[in-house]
Chain A
């Protein structure tokens, strides 16, 4: 073969379309985490890092084992999970209802959006002292803080999800004479579900942040209170053990959401 006015060619066409498609390599993820922990432990064992300031993986495991065997962990964990569950469920259900209303009804959208836009940017942690004044130092203020923090992202994601449902599907349902309730439950809600579920990922992590903040401001029980107490005592082993527990809570929540997504969005 010969290109016009160029040198004679005789070679295979090179492949030029590789890359830009990162794959997940499971062993690399595990190896990275294990490597980092091993490095940390090595530095601590060699005395390069003070265990008083940064503890070490082995000391943290030992602290966790002691917390489990003494039963102390379960008391803190139960208090935190209860607040997390109640606050998240209240915020989610109310957020879904308001988000649906804002997504569906003209009468709700303008006034509703004005309120949501005004309140959404407020850092919810700043409201904890106010909620303590209103609802007391007990469970009420903590649950309201969580619910409030979960409510706004849920409203916004639900409304965006409803907006994203192709109007052609709703017109189709109307053309077949489906009742409004059927249109909402069989078209709007399933159509908005991907956005709602991705909102759940945001709201669960927001709820964990607010849980810890609320427990640090005024609680005897709960992982946040435990972490703060350990910090006050310069007990970095227990402090980091508490943070590991929070991380495990986050991972478990993420796993549950993954299962939920696979079940509800298997059509994708």
Chain B
């Protein structure tokens, strides 16, 4: 199990040219917990994730890391991408080993690690397959395997299930919950799907419409392993989230329609 790191978001603001997308974000993300970011389209969820991962430089403010990463952690802040971001010219195993090739690991250690994460994600039989031969769900498993191969201290997941069909989403969501619980990595998960938010989130951060500000933070103490689909408390939280988001989501939708003109 990898030790998690905590993240501290301090007065973060961000704008793309003249368009402000995030404003006054202060947030503590606890080590080893799953924090879910929800909000209407365009509220800056993915931008905030990019800032957390060092892929977007905030216009103002900063993000600090605290705690201790595991000794075997090769990449502290590790992404799982919505569009999988797999190299089509590499096999499944090749895509996973890519992220280990610049590390201090020997060739044998790399091979062992690739084998281990492929087994963990149920991909051992597909090690030699090309990404184009896989379904969307399988491709996202490769994305997860690749992320786990570096023993991340923080997993940053940008709508990892949004490109998948409902059945695959349900299956992968359960697997995510079990993998996250097993690795113990701090996880930040962006989604539009409120059922996903309540299934995975220990801290749910609700952002308002652009420029995104934190409207509410909801904590769920039920352990990930014990969350059932018909859990009344979780459904009540889902309803509460929808109440918070409904007006903003409708306004964001209208804004988008106007912008497309």
Q: Which A residues are CB-close (under 8 A) to B77?
A: 175
Q: By the criterion CB–CB under 8 Å, are B81 and A190 in contact? A: no
Q: Is A2 among interface residues, defined by CB-CB distance under 8 A?
A: no
Q: Which B residues are CB-close (under 8 A) to A175?
A: 53-55, 75, 77-79
* Residues 161-184 of A contacting B (Cβ, < 8 Å): 168-169, 171-179, 182
- Distance from A168 Cβ to chain B, minimum over Cβ atoms (Å): 5
User: Would you call the interface of chain B mostly helix, strand, loop, or mixed?
Assistant: loop
Contact flags (1/0) for B72-90 with A, using CB distance below 8 Å? 0011011101010101111
A178 touches which one: B55, B81, B83, B99 (CB < 8 A)?
A: B99
Q: With A and B bound together, what is the CA distance between A169 and B146 in angstroms? A: 13
Q: Is A113 among interface residues, defined by CB-CB distance under 8 A?
A: no
Q: Is A186 among interface residues, defined by CB-CB distance under 8 A?
A: yes
Q: With A and B bound together, what is the CA distance between A191 and B79 in angstroms? A: 21
Q: By the criterion CB–CB under 8 Å, are A178 and B88 in contact? A: no
- In the complex, the chain B residue whose C-beta lies closest to that of A166 is B85
Q: By the criterion CB–CB under 8 Å, are A168 and B99 in contact? A: no
Q: Is B98 among interface residues, defined by CB-CB distance under 8 A?
A: yes
Contact flags (1/0) for B88-108 with A, using CB distance below 8 Å? 111000000011011000000
Q: With A and B bound together, what is the CA distance between A187 and B85 in angstroms? A: 11
Q: How many residues of B contact A (CB 8 A)?
A: 23
* Residues 87-141 of B contacting A (Cβ, < 8 Å): 87-90, 98-99, 101-102, 130, 132
Q: Which A residues are CB-close (under 8 A) to B79?
A: 172, 175-176
- Distance from A157 Cβ to chain B, minimum over Cβ atoms (Å): 18
Contact flags (1/0) for A187-203 with B, using CB distance below 8 Å? 10011010000000000
* Residues 126-176 of A contacting B (Cβ, < 8 Å): 168-169, 171-176
Q: By the criterion CB–CB under 8 Å, are B98 and A178 in contact? A: yes
Q: Which B residues are CB-close (under 8 A) to A176?
A: 75, 78-79, 98-99, 146, 150
Q: By the criterion CB–CB under 8 Å, are A172 and B85 in contact? A: yes
Q: Which B residues are CB-close (under 8 A) to A174?
A: 55
- Distance from B134 Cβ to chain A, minimum over Cβ atoms (Å): 13
- In the complex, the chain B residue whose C-beta lies closest to that of A187 is B87
- Distance from A117 Cβ to chain B, minimum over Cβ atoms (Å): 28
Q: Is A16 among interface residues, defined by CB-CB distance under 8 A?
A: no
Q: Is A105 among interface residues, defined by CB-CB distance under 8 A?
A: no
Q: Is A268 among interface residues, defined by CB-CB distance under 8 A?
A: yes
Q: How many residues of A contact B (CB 8 A)?
A: 20
Q: With A and B bound together, what is the CA distance between A187 and B53 in angstroms? A: 20
- In the complex, the chain B residue whose C-beta lies closest to that of A171 is B55
- In the complex, the chain A residue whose C-beta lies closest to that of B81 is A172
B87 touches which one: A177, A179, A190, A268 (CB < 8 A)?
A: A190
- In the complex, the chain B residue whose C-beta lies closest to that of A267 is B89
Q: With A and B bound together, what is the CA distance between A111 and B53 in angstroms? A: 34
* Residues 105-135 of A contacting B (Cβ, < 8 Å): none
Q: Which B residues are CB-close (under 8 A) to A173?
A: 98
Q: Given the known inter-chain contacts A172-B79, A175-B79, please indicate yes or no for A190 contacting B89, CB distance below 8 A.
A: yes
- Distance from A178 Cβ to chain B, minimum over Cβ atoms (Å): 5
Contact flags (1/0) for A219-259 with B, using CB distance below 8 Å? 00000000000000000000000000000000000000000
Q: Given the known inter-chain contacts A168-B83, A175-B79, A177-B75, please indicate yes or no for A182 contacting B89, CB distance below 8 A.
A: no
- In the complex, the chain B residue whose C-beta lies closest to that of A183 is B102
Q: Which A residues are CB-close (under 8 A) to B55?
A: 171, 174-175
Query: Which of A169, A173, A176, A187 gathers the greatest number of chain B CB atoms within 10 Å?
Result: A176
Q: By the criterion CB–CB under 8 Å, are B87 and A169 in contact? A: yes
Q: With A and B bound together, what is the CA distance between A190 and B102 in angstroms? A: 18
Q: With A and B bound together, what is the CA distance between A173 and B102 in angstroms? A: 11
Mark B residues whose CB is within 8 Å of A.
53-55, 74-75, 77-79, 81, 83, 85, 87-90, 98-99, 101-102, 130, 132, 146, 150
Q: What are the nearest 5 A-B pairs in CB distance?
A: A172-B85, A176-B99, A267-B89, A175-B79, A190-B89
If A169-B87, A175-B77, A182-B102 are given as contacts, then 4 extra A-B residue pairs at C-beta distance below 8 Å, sorted by A number, are A175-B75, A175-B79, A186-B87, A267-B88
Q: List 23 A-B contacts (CB under 8 A).
A: A168-B81, A168-B83, A172-B85, A174-B55, A175-B53, A175-B77, A175-B78, A175-B79, A176-B75, A176-B78, A176-B79, A176-B98, A176-B150, A177-B74, A182-B101, A186-B87, A187-B87, A190-B87, A193-B89, A267-B88, A267-B89, A267-B90, A267-B130
